[in-house]
Amino acid sequence: MIDVHCHILPGLDDGSRGLEESLEMAESAIADGITRVVATPHASSSYVFDFARVRECRDELQKHLGDRLLLATGCDFHMSPENMIALREDAPRFCINQKNYLLVEFNEFSIPPAMDHRLHELQLAGLRPVITHPERNAILRARPERLKQWVQHGSFVQVTGGSLTGSFGVGAQEDAWRWIDEGLVHFVASDAHNTRTRPLVLRAAYDAVEAQFGKEKAEALFEENPLAAFEGQELPHVPEVLDESSEPRKKKFFFF
């Protein structure tokens, strides 16, 4: 599996607090069957994204891991006006493995209509926005039609593995499963922050998706789409989005 969203680099944001914790997170990824990880520190009002420092941290951690786990970098990108200016100057430094897929996170307080325009602007610049964990965002959970519209206009969606297995509550769990069913989800990632509450694992979520939707779907969300984003290729699996009149594909999900 390839994890396109996690906070494994030490001391850059609210993720790993030091090298020891980063190494433990890496070991848990390796044991879980993850072969590549994209370290995606926040770029937000709370955390400055310094690309040179991000790369330094990545290189240092990679040195310790050798070829047991491949580390790349990206960014958990907040679409503030300042960040948008920085993005226009040099987009690849923020993108997954410096290609063209960009993780975009929204805050919990407001998602103004201008965000629709900013997503469009990213696409016009040749970038592929990936909306991170909408199932954990109260605004998007209350207005899923906005998410659906973004997907119909070419944005992609990543849900968190832990949401599927219930770590973020029943509401997030239900929406994450329903949105996979509705064809709104393209990636599952760990969004790991530490070794305790937000670990770097995906296997349990992979098994749950395989049990619900079959092997092909699990491979699409955890392996093949992440690999394509990692390499800057077109996603091989872009499901058809169910419209309002459609019946849900699955009537009921069983949870773990």
Q: Which two tokens stand for residue 125?
A: 């610049």
> Which is closer to Fe ion, CB of 21 or CB of 191?
191
Residues 6+ apart with CB under 8 A from 143: none
Residues that bind Fe ion (CB under 5 A): 76, 191
DSSP string, 139-207: HHHH-HHHHHHHHHTT-EEEEEHHHHTTTT-HHHHHHHHHHHHTT---EEE--B-SSSSS-S--HHHHH
Cβ 95 vs Cβ 101: under 8 Å: yes
CB of 190 to Fe ion, least distance (A): 9
> Which is closer to Fe ion, CB of 76 or CB of 219?
76
Cβ 147 vs Cβ 122: under 8 Å: no
> Which is closer to Fe ion, CB of 24 or CB of 191?
191
Q: Please give the torsion angle defined by the CA atoms of residues 116, 173, 199 and 203, in that order, rounded to the nearest 10 degrees.
A: -110
- Direct distance between the N- and C-terminal alpha carbons of the chain, in angstroms, rounded to an integer: 21
CB of 192 to Fe ion, least distance (A): 9
Give the residue nearest to Fe ion (CB).
76
Q: Which residues pair with 70 in a beta bridge?
A: 36
CB of 193 to Fe ion, least distance (A): 7
> Which is closer to Fe ion, CB of 9 or CB of 220?
9
CB of 37 to Fe ion, least distance (A): 13
> Which is closer to Fe ion, CB of 40 or CB of 212?
40
CB of 30 to Fe ion, least distance (A): 21
Q: Please tell me the distance from the alpha carbon of residue 10 to that of residue 211, in angstroms, as a whole number.
A: 35
